[in-house]
Amino acid sequence: MVKSMIKKVLLFIVALLIVVAPVIAAEDADCKLINSLNYHKGMFDAANAEIYLKIPLGSEAAHVGGDEQDPEHYTAGVPFAFRPDASGGVWILDSVNKALKLFGKDGSLQKAISIEKYGAVVRDFAFDGNKGFWLLSALDGFIYRIDMTGKLVSQIEGFSGARAIETGVLEELLVDMPTMASILRFGDDELLREQYPCDESLSMIEGVGGKLLAFEMGEKNASLLLRSVASPAETISLAEFPLDIEDPAVKYVSAQVIGHDKDANLYLSVTACHETSGAIYRDRIFRCTAAGKILAQKDIILFPCLAGDLPRERVVTADGKVMTYYVDSENNYVLAAYSL
Q: What is the pLDDT of residues 303-326, one digit of tens each?
A: 877 677 899 999 999 999 999 999
Question: Above 70 in pLDDT, residue 12?
Answer: no
Domain contains 127: no
pTM: 0.90
Report d(CA 86, CA 324) in Å as an integer.
Answer: 17
Report d(CA 48, CA 338) in Å as an integer.
Answer: 7
Domain contains 106: no
Domain contains 216: yes
Mark out the alpha helices in 4-75 (DSSP H runs).
Answer: 4-27
Exposed / middle / buried, residue 106 (Cβ in 10 Å: 0-12, 13-18, 19+):
exposed
Closest CA to 229 of 205, 211, 203: 211
Domain contains 62: no
Q: What is the pLDDT of residue 9?
A: 47
Whole domain around residue 26: which residue ranges? 1-45+201-308
Q: Give the confidence band of 19 by pLDDT, cuts at 50, 70, 90.
A: very low
Domain contains 327: no
Instruction: Dump pLDDT digits (tens) for 97-152.
Output: 999 999 998 999 999 999 999 998 999 999 999 999 999 998 899 999 999 999 99
Q: What is the pLDDT of residue 250?
A: 98
Q: Tell me the backbone φ, ψ of residue 273, rounded to 5 degrees.
A: -135, 160
Q: What is the pLDDT of residue 23?
A: 46
Percentage of the chain exceeding pLDDT 70: 91
* 8 Å CB contact between 250 and 272: yes
| Number of domains making up the chain | 1
Instruction: Dump pLDDT digits (tens) for 200-252.
Output: 899 999 999 999 999 999 999 999 999 999 999 999 999 999 999 999 999 99
Domain contains 222: yes
Report d(CA 213, CA 27) in Å as an integer.
Answer: 41
Domain contains 39: yes
Domain contains 50: no
